[in-house]
Structure 1
Amino acid sequence: MNKDLGNTIITSNTVDSGNLTISKNGIDIPTQQFDRSIIVKDKHFYFLRAGKFRKYTLQSNGLKEIAQLAMQDQHIENINWLDRDTLLLFTSDNKTNRRLWVSKITVNDFKINQQQEVKLPSASADFKILSVGFGTIHQQRLLIGYTFNKVINETDFTTIDTMYIATLDKTTLQLENIQKDTRSSYPGGVNTVQSYSLHDENGNFYFMSCPGIALGNSPSKPTAIFRIDSNSTHINPAYFLNLTAKTHNHAYGMWYLGNNQAIVRSERRDRYTDFSDHHSTYQFEYYVVDLISQTTTKLNLPFDKGTRKESVLVENGKAYITIDDAKDQHQVWVYDIKSKNIQVGLILDQATDFIVRIDRLH
């Protein structure tokens, strides 16, 4: 996102170093084709807008649409790549925000192979809006983490005080059971915007809850990390990594580093007023979390701005962290996971406002 309110995609063969200028190195993208929830995978971009799920390639003059699928009056709640060619898409309706569909799409030939509405029972007459925080295949089952919200007024909403995990047959999508957990609220989040869950090397599944004002808006509940063990489909009742107790703040975003370590992105309550300036205040810190010892270590990085961003890319033993800091610098910081060394990598010019995503294109 640029200071002139436009959107630009910049590609580079390296983010370890260098300087790039938006006007010279970027490709401008019209707002109707792009927002921060665009999906990037294997040289293609995917985006749901105006009743169609669309597939694009990146050209020198912008995104070129090459295929589309009808998805009338729906929006994306979550995605999961089953393999390089198969996308599991979780969508809700735009009218009630209550109905949930699961679609299995082969992206090479761009066909819907399976599409089914999943009916999840209401939790409360007051909390009618469904929010899906994750959908994953685990123990040969489809697990869907979700919660329910209610609107307070035109600019405010809150979340019910319970997390729900639905277990479905991964082939038929038939509902088998529903778990409840009241230790926190709002499991995960819209993962096309930001990552909130992971599988480790041993097959354990971890997810973050996000009850802070930027997602669940139930701040009396703690931000926490939960675990579903590799040999189970149920939340481990003995595992509870309370991030709020450790950082005294809420967090949004979790990215796996490997070897039981993850990076989380945490707000600073003392640096913003309310939700109106939450996105524009330089307040976000990054922590490395040990998922086994449940310890946190703050990384020596400038405060970042932007409420929810896909700001971390992990590969080849490094975490690339994009930060828009108070000096109006827009940089990729390179964290070497083994040595713990941090240095500045790629730098973008000051026409940048927010780096909203960092993705591997291919």
Structure 2
Amino acid sequence: MSEAKNKTLLSVDSLEVSFFTYAGEVKAVRGISYELEEGEVMGIVGESGSGKSVSSYGLMGIIPEPGKIVSGSIQFDGKEITKLAEKEMQKIRGKDVSMIFQDPMTSLNPVYTVGNQIDESLRKHTDLNKQQRKDRIIELFTLVGINQPEKRMNQYPHEFSGGMRQRVMIAMALACNPKLLIADEPTTALDVTIQAQIVELMKELKDKINMSIIFITHDLGVVSEICDKVAVMYAGNIIERGSIDDIFYNPKHPYTKGLLKSVPKLNADDHERLVPIEGSPVDLINPPKGCAFAPRCENCMKICLTEKPPVCHVGENHESVCWLNVKEEFEKESGK
């Protein structure tokens, strides 16, 4: 592996994000930690409401009101960004860190042409003149597979299909060659053919400019295609993380196993039923004292309800937060 790939680009330590509502403090992200190297792709998976998108908004400094970072550290390229003023964040946002939002129709401004919206980012973050910016937009549209770029850049978002709008969003995110791209469910609501094209495009672009990617999704199939490692989130915590092989072939947390069981398999018997995860996600205004997944876990023990489980190292660069792993390790050591 090259030296560049070994360099840590992003380091998140004990990040907590809360929303202060009239009903109480919603603890959306409850102390997550991870690292991302240059040129690496990390998938963040989990159900809706698990804190995937909110954690990424923290990286961009765009947590909507009434939310805010309560504690923790985000080091990007050696710089602590949680304490930066908005003016300083604007220099990083869109240039060094870019984001593809979940719904391109609501993320693109309907009253401006798509070319104008990409041009805005280039004007702010580069020294290119008008003609150079136009050439760059044509280059980006060609890169993401949009035909007739000179004509299309003068069109409005409603004149594009869903897949094409998503390509525009990717072009916009890549305009200034960011070091980190955050893709928030970029293939949701797209048909499988377009999904495959978007994933393939991101893989190619990552290799071309050695860009790091955080890929947020609930689609484990997409994760297996593009990611180097995976973090599984539940109730604002990362409950398991490891390499693709670790997560798919040797999952250690009951929630991860449940996610995998709920995905259809190509080699499954015709009559094999999908197994859903019973129950509902926990209330993050009053999260449980013990393991957040305990009320839905078929292997729940007494300690799970009262004590938070520790982080267990279950393999090289493979961690799981579960009392079952502690029990398993204890039984191994005692020879049971």
The structure carrying a bigger helix percent of its residues is 2
Structure 2 length normalisation: TM-score?
0.31
Q: Which has the larger radius of gyration?
A: 2
The structure carrying a bigger strand percent of its residues is 1
Structure 1 length normalisation: TM-score?
0.30
